Amino acid sequence: MAIVEFKNVSRVYRNGEHEQRALDHVDLSLEEGQFIVILGPSGAGKSTLLNLLGGLDSPTEGTILVNGKDISTLTPNELAEYRAASVGFVFQSYNLIPTLTVIENVALVKEIAPNPLSSHDMLRAVGLEDHRHNFPSELSGGEQQRVSIARALAKNPHILLCDEPTGALDSETGVMVLKLLLSMARDMGKTIIIVTHNQNIAKMADTVIRVKNGKIKSCEKQDHPLAVEEVDW
């Protein structure tokens, strides 16, 4: 069953007379519970795709359906509710609140998510229970990204959106984070969409979408994705 459907979606940025078509009449359908990787060079439109799906941005034209609901016409407040209930984000630069401790950063989502999970459980799952009273600045990059994953999953979203989640990490830590992300999402039955330019990550995906010049170049399903350990990093 399709959890996400893009129908003829375009996103055009205008700057004076200059017009940039970041997404150009995109049609796309994504299955629930899959691990999906969106690949493409810089400026291809992959982050725009992710932002539209995450409700951070709205399309210039077209329809985006998530779980059958059209999110392309939502008001800013409805979009905030959508983000609070349906999607979790993991960013390259973690985006934790520096003035909140690890546990508080995760528990933050309880204030807005309709069905949040236990923050303690989430921290335990990412192996940072012992660091719960530390501030983000007291953790390593990998640890901060794990907190970010715990926060994203604590909302109990349908979809987990990750924008270059390993981009700021060394390869060893990156592998560890990916492994964690995959195992947690799989165990919890989440749909994971990762935007990256790292071809290796694509080897682990159920579906690989290649984007170029704002268009979907290909959408391949992989019957036998590799395990994290099997990928040559």
Which of 131, 155, 158, 190 binds other proteins (CB under 8 A)? It is 155
DSSP state of 130: G
CB 107 within 8 A of CB 119: yes
CB 134 within 8 A of CB 169: no
Residue 56 vs residues 29, 73, 82, 176: alpha-carbon distances, Å: 19, 13, 10, 28
Q: Does 158 bind other proteins (CB under 8 A)?
A: no
Scored b (16 or more CB within 10 A) or e, 78-109 reads: ebeebbbebbbbbbbebebeeeebbbebbbbb
Which of 38, 113, 117, 160 binds other proteins (CB under 8 A)? It is 113
Q: Does 227 bind other proteins (CB under 8 A)?
A: no
Tell which positions 1-30 bind other proteins, by CB under 8 A.
none
Size of the site for other proteins (CB under 8 A): 36
The interface region with other proteins, picked from 65-73, 132-140, 178-186, 202-210 by CB under 8 A, is: 132-140
**Residue whose CB is less far from other proteins, 85 or 219:** 85
Which of 21, 62, 91, 120 binds other proteins (CB under 8 A)? It is 91
Q: Does 107 bind other proteins (CB under 8 A)?
A: yes
Q: Does 53 bind other proteins (CB under 8 A)?
A: no
Q: Does 150 bind other proteins (CB under 8 A)?
A: no
Which of 70, 97, 130, 233 binds other proteins (CB under 8 A)? It is 97
Please list the alpha-helical segments (H only) found in 29-128: 46-54, 76-86, 102-107, 119-125
Q: Does 211 bind other proteins (CB under 8 A)?
A: no
**Residue whose CB is less far from other proteins, 109 or 202:** 109
In this structure, the strands spanning 61-66 and 207-212 are unpaired
Q: Does 84 bind other proteins (CB under 8 A)?
A: yes
Helix, strand, or coil here: 131?
Answer: helix
Q: Does 100 bind other proteins (CB under 8 A)?
A: yes
CB 214 within 8 A of CB 21: yes
Distance CA 85, CA 158 (A): 8
What is the token pair recorded at 58? 């709205």
For binding to other proteins (CB under 8 A), which residues are involved?
A: 47, 51, 54, 56-57, 76-77, 80-85, 89, 91, 93-100, 104, 107-109, 111-113, 133, 135, 137-138, 151, 155
